[in-house]
Amino acid sequence: MHPMRTATSTPLSSFSMAKRLTGVTLGALCLLGLAPLAQAQYGGTSSGPKPNFRIGPVNFHVTGTFTAEYNTNILSLRSGAAAKDIILTPGFDFAGSWKLSKFNTLQLDLGMGYQIYVQHPELSSINNFMNMSPDSRLAFKMKMGAFTVTPYESLSFSTDATSVSGVAAASAAQGQPTTYARFTNQAGIDVIWHLNRKMEPYLHLFRSDTVPFKSKAFESDKHHTYTFNPGFTYAVASNLRAGLDFNASMNKYATDFNNSSKSYSLGPTANWTITPNANLSGGINYAIYDFKGDGKNKDSSQPKNLQWNISFVHTPRANFQYSLFTNQALNYGYTSNTTRTTDFGLSFQWRFLKRTTLRGAFVHEKGLDSGGILAEKYKSNTGGFGLDFAMNPRTTLSFDYEHTKKTSDIALRDFTQDRFIVGCAYDF
C-alpha cells in the first residue's frame, strides 16, 4: 500500500505499508487530526506560520529547535537489559515558497536534527549523520486548466531503535531489538482533475525506496515500491464528499531474504463535516497481497484483509479540540511478509491560557505477523501529555512525558519505556 500522506482528498491515502517503528514522539501523537490551535497565540493562523524573511520573490520560514530527552530504555529492550541515556537534539525546520505565477508554486520543506547520545555516543545519529524529517519535501504545484499537477521529491534519513529485530544471518532472525538507520525516498506526481463543482478524479503515481545505512541487521529491508493510485471524490452534499479509491503496488526486495510482492486494494472514502465544529473522515478497503515466496523468511502466507482509517475531530470551544481515531493496515514485515496493525486512540489540545497549550494522547495498538521465522503477536499502549508555553512571538518552550509498554509473545521484545523531553523552538 501507499506511504503516509497527510493532506490529500483521499482519506485512504494515509494507509501505510511502511515499517512500523517505535520512537514516535508525543507531539506527533497529540496532533493526529488536530489543527494547530497554538499558532493563534500571537496572531498566527491555523493555515501555518507566516514567513519570517524574504529573498527576492522567495518567502522563507526558519525555526531553530533544541530538545533534551531523558530516556529510560533507548533500545526498547526488556526491563532487565534496558539502557538509560540523555539525548540532545539540535536542529532546524526550513520552509521556502516561491510563487512563480498565479497558478504555479515551488515549495521546499526541510527538517533536520542531530541526535547526541551522552552515555552511548556510538548511537549518535549513527556515525554522525543528520536526521532528516519525513516531512522534508520539494514540490512544484502547477495549475493547468482544470488540472492541478504536483511533481514532488521527498527524502528522509532517520535513526531510531525499533521494537523488532533485523536479520542475524542469511536465514535467521535476531531475537534482540536493535537500532535501525535508513534513507527513505519517495518521488512521484499527484494529479487532481477539477472536472466540475462536484466531481474530482485524481491520480497518484510514485516510487518509494528504503535503503538501510550502516545497519547490517537490516540489509534485508532494502526495497523499492511502485504505486499506481487512481480514484475520485464526489460532493454528495455541501458538507459531504464521498469517493472510491483503488491502489496497485509492486514491491521488490534487493536481497533474497524477504518475499517480493504485488498488492491491490479497493474501497470507499468519505469526508463529512457534521457541523462547523465537527468532522468525520476516513475510508475502508479490502486488500489482496500476492507474495512470490522466493525469500528465505519462511513465510508462505498470502494476506487478504480489511484496512481502514477513520477519525473524528471536534472543536467544542475555540481553545479546545479532541480527536478519536482508529486504523488498521497491513505493513511490510522485517522477517515476515506483513504485520497487521490495529490502532485505537484519542488526542486533545487545550489552550487554557493565552500562551499555554496542554496536549495529550493515548494509543492502543495490536500487531500480528503473517508468519515467518520469528513471527510475533504483540500489544502496546503509549500515552502521555505535553505543555507548550509561548514565551514571546518567536520563542516556544515545550515539556513532554511519554510512557510506552509493550507485551509480546516473544520475551525479548517485551519492554517498558519512559521519555521526559524539554524543548525550545525559536522563529528567526
> pTM of the entire structure?
0.85
Q: What is the pLDDT of residue 412?
A: 78
Q: Is residue 2 part of a domain?
A: no
What is the tens place of the pLDDT at every residue in 50-98? 788 888 888 989 999 999 999 998 876 666 677 899 999 999 998 899 9
> Is the residue at 4 inside a domain?
no
More confident residue, 226 or 132: 226
Query: For position 152, which CATH number holds?
Result: 2.40.160
List the grid coordinates of 215.
545497519
Is 404 within a domain? yes
Quick: pLDDT tens for 314-359: 999 999 999 999 999 999 988 899 999 999 999 999 999 999 999 9
Q: Which residues, including other chains, have CB under 8 Å from residue 133's CB and lie 6 or more apart?
A: 93, 110, 111, 112, 113, 156
d(Cα 314, Cα 281) in Å, to the nearest integer? 12
**Is residue 161 pLDDT above 80, yes or no?**
no
Which residues are CB-neighbours of 355 under 8 A, at least 6 positions away? 41, 389, 390, 391
The band of 214, judged by pLDDT with boundaries at 50, 70 and 90, is confident
For residue 96, is it within any domain? yes
In a domain, 5, yes or no: no
Specify the number of domains making up the chain: 1
pLDDT of res. 120 = 84
Identify the pLDDT of residue 45.
43
Distant-in-sequence, close-in-space partners of 322: CB < 8 Å, separation ≥ 6: 34, 313, 314, 346, 347, 348, 349
Rounded to whole angstroms, the Cα distance separating 251 from 97 reads 33
Q: Which of 197-201, 261-265, 412-416 has the lowest mean pLDDT?
A: 412-416
Give the pLDDT band of residue 188 (cuts 50, 70, 90). very high
8 A C-beta contact, residue 174 and residue 161 = no
Question: CB-based burial of residue 299 (10 Å sphere; 0-12 exposed, 13-18 middle, 19+ buried)?
Answer: buried
pLDDT in tens, 238-256: 999 999 999 999 999 999 8
Summarize pLDDT for 104-133 with one digit per residue, the tens.
899 888 888 888 989 988 777 655 556 677
Question: Across all residues in the chain, what is the average pLDDT?
Answer: 84
In a domain, 1, yes or no: no
Are 361 and 388 a contacting pair, CB within 8 Å? no
Strands (E), 221-319: 223-237, 240-253, 261-275, 278-291, 304-317
Residue 107 within any structural domain of the chain = yes
Name the pLDDT band for 32 (thresholds 50, 70, 90).
low
Which three cell numbers mark 272?
Answer: 463529512
Q: Is 345 within the bounds of a domain?
A: yes
Q: What residue numbers bound the domain in which 324 lies?
A: 11-427
Give the side-chain half-sphere CA count within 13 A for 190. Answer: 22
> Closest Cα partner for 72 from 85, 91, 89, 90?
85
End-to-end CA distance of the chain: 39
Distance of CA 268 to the CA centre of its chain: 22
Pairwise CA distance, residues 387 & 420, whole Å: 12
By C-alpha distance, which of 260, 251, 179, 217 is closest to 374? 217
